[in-house]
Amino acid sequence: MELSRRLDAFEDEVFAALNVRRRELEARGRRVWDLSVGTPDFAPPQHVIDALVRSASDPASWRYALRDTDELTGAVCAYYERRFGVGGITPDMVASCRGTQEGLGYVCAALCDPGDVALVPDPCYPVFRNATMLAGARPHYYPLTAAHGFLPCFSEIPDDVADAARYLIVSLPANPVGSVGTPEVYEELIAFARAHDLVVIHDNAYSDIVFDGPAAGSFLAYPGALEVGVEFLSLSKSFNVTGARLSFLVGRPDVVAAAKKLRGQVDFGMFHPEQAAAVAALTGPLEPVEAQRLAYQERRDALCDGLASLGWERPNAHGSMFVWARLPGGREDSVAFAAELMEGAGVIVTPGASFGPAGEGYVRMALVLPPEDLRQVVAAIGAAGI
């Protein structure tokens, strides 16, 4: 038997390899600080847990969901107005998905035919390019560089490439590089999409984790956005429900309908208790989300200030739950440096090269430990002479 050649396009998952090495070090009695995976260590709000438990205790909740409830889609519409000031979102503009990763797969497949071109940021969260390749499309990378504050520079994308592309993926605040969008960037994005007949796919996973200024908003708040694009609203990081995979595709109705049509071929909808949990999160108080943002900022400061005190270039970390750090001491190989850091200091990070060619020369660190632990991380790195 021969397996599909499709598998040849994908490398082994980097987080799995890092976790194997972590277990080996811990088995030898080493203290290990794992900053590789962005899994929040904060607890979900109690009212979200309670809503899921109540629903799960009802036998009727265990039947096929088949569709999103009116209560759920209504909660998403209301949340967009309450949280982002975006009115006019209607239920036909909303579809649940089991995490943005899954949802992106459906959207990319709905927009592309094999051989089509798609615009993908570099560096980027790997699922952006992987979903594109699973759809049979060819990613064309547009760079996020320090020279532009790790923000998209659409004028540098060749016109012929933009004209050939079917969609453009953008994510602000950005994983892994930590940049935060500005009104000027979003306005330029919408004009660029109109000029080249592109669908914009915006991943808005980190709107509630922004530092040094006001909270981030929504791409859909800008004039013309609903005509050219869609946005993924994830509850994972704002409400610490990563394992529940609560996410929503919101925006241009024809794109949402196309993604729902594909999902309906392989899925029976979001489990009713998960829908109840999502409604509770979307309609509940947001003060704890703001308190959590400030806690993340304290972590950011502890790590970035500490690394700068060791002589590292101060990392780029304006938003998201990640720190994007240039390799110190003139090093260039991020994979080799991640191994050096793991073996020398017991600190596990993700090599920048895992996020695309432009990620080489950097590592990503997740803010998943309290400030006192992050100060210990810095001390361990300093003690190792790194």
pLDDT tens per residue across span 317-333: 999 999 999 999 999 99
- Dig out the tokens for 199 from the structure: 């669908």
Please answer whether residues 141 and 171 qualify as being in contact, where contact means their C-beta atoms are separated by less than 8 angstroms.
no
Position of tokens 């908003």? 217
Cα gap 335→74, rounded to integer Å? 45
- Dig out the tokens for 179 from the structure: 């940049």
Q: What is the pLDDT of residue 13?
A: 61
Architecture in CATH for domain 46-283:
3-Layer(aba) Sandwich (3.40)
pLDDT tens per residue across span 145-175: 999 999 999 999 999 999 999 999 999 999 9
The whole model's pTM is what? 0.94
Sign of CA dihedral 249, 174, 201, 286: positive
Low-confidence ranges of the chain (pLDDT < 50): none
Question: Looking at the domain 5-43+287-383, which fold is it?
Answer: Aspartate Aminotransferase, domain 1 (3.90.1150)
Beta-sheet pairing, 322-326 with 362-366: antiparallel
Q: What is the pLDDT of residue 12?
A: 63
Q: Where are the domains of the chain?
A: 5-43+287-383, 46-283
DSSP 220-284: GGSTTHHHHEEEEEE-HHHHT-GGG-EEEEEE-HHHHHHHHHHHTTT-----HHHHHHHHHHHHS
Q: What is the pLDDT of residue 37?
A: 86
- Dig out the tokens for 297 from the structure: 């900022």
Contacts of 49 (CB under 8 A, 6+ apart): 277
* 46-283 and 5-43+287-383 share a CATH fold: no
